[in-house]
Amino acid sequence: MLSGKDDSPLQLGERAITTDRKDPKAVARNLAASAKVNKGGRLAKEGKVEEAIALFKQAQKLDPDIDLDPSTKEVRDKDPKAVARSLAATFQRDKHQLRLNLD
């Protein structure tokens, strides 16, 4: 639901929608880009790095300023390959660490 002042960013999960909310097409592009980033992140964590990269690139076509990894608060990640590989590696490392802790 779109609410609040027209100049304040909308929140969608961790992402803020900063496009002109008076332009429905811009809002739709931003939402679509965010959805592609979310799905790309999930795919990267599943080890499907090439599919994640493709989705990240599609997201950037919709919104060139989109942050491909919003979990990195201080850094605005723009490189689809680096982000996908980093997410995949981090997830695998965390999964391995969890297994070690369970043993």
For residue 90, name the pLDDT band (cuts at 50, 70, 90). confident
How many CA within 13 A on the CB side of residue 84? 21
- Are the C-beta atoms of 38 and 13 separated by less than 8 Å? yes
Give the 3-state secondary structure percentages of the chain, helix then strand then coil, rounded to 5: 55, 5, 35
Mean pLDDT computed over 76-97 = 83
* pLDDT above 50 for 14: no
Per-residue pLDDT reduced to its tens digit, 27-65: 899 999 999 999 999 999 999 999 999 999 999 999 998
pLDDT of residue 83: 92
